[in-house]
Amino acid sequence: MANDEPLEKPLSTGEWFVTLVVLAIPVIGLIMHFVWAFGGGTNLGRRNFCRAFLLMVAILFCLGVLTLVGFLLLGGTMAALLNNAHR
């Protein structure tokens, strides 16, 4: 194999379109993210895209949980302060 040949053929525009349509289907898309991210035999670009997407979702989920915990703590603190102010 010559040095100027790519190791893998990049996805065409049509293949990316089909990929994005499949990933947009609610439950099937989530399953396919995992299949393409961690299953064997998939295109390297598609695999990396799915891995990056799942990493981003995990980070955003953790930030959402931390935000919810922060709001609950703030709400509890405010409720306690208001309760003490009315006594």
In a domain, 1, yes or no: no
Count of domains for the chain: 1
In a domain, 69, yes or no: yes
In a domain, 8, yes or no: no
Which DSSP state fits 1?
Answer: -
**Which pLDDT belongs to residue 74?**
96
73 or 87, higher pLDDT: 73
In a domain, 77, yes or no: yes
**Which pLDDT belongs to residue 83?**
87
In a domain, 64, yes or no: yes
Q: State how far Cα 69 lies from the chain centre.
A: 21
- Residue 56 structural domain: 16-85
Q: What is the CA radius of gyration of the chain?
A: 23
Confidence (pTM): 0.79
Residue-averaged pLDDT of the chain:
92
80 or 6, higher pLDDT: 80
